[in-house]
Amino acid sequence: MNRPSWDTYFFTLAEHAASRATCPRLSVGAVVVRGKRVLSTGYNGAPAGEPHCTHPIDVPCTQAIHAEWNALDAQFGPYDGATMYLTHSPCQSCQRRIIDAGIARVVYRTAYRDPDLTQLERFGITVEHQPKTPDIERFKQALRETRVVHPNWPNWPY
Give the residue numbers marked as catalytic.
Answer: 68
Give the three-state DSSP class for 31: strand
Closest CA to 89 of 74, 111, 67, 105: 111
Distance, CA of 111 to CA of 143 (rounded, Å) = 26
Contacts 24+ apart (CB under 8 A), 12-17: 12/136, 12/139, 12/140, 12/143, 12/157, 13/38, 13/41, 13/85, 14/41, 14/85, 14/86, 14/87, 14/109, 15/87, 15/136, 16/156, 16/157, 17/41, 17/42, 17/43, 17/67, 17/71
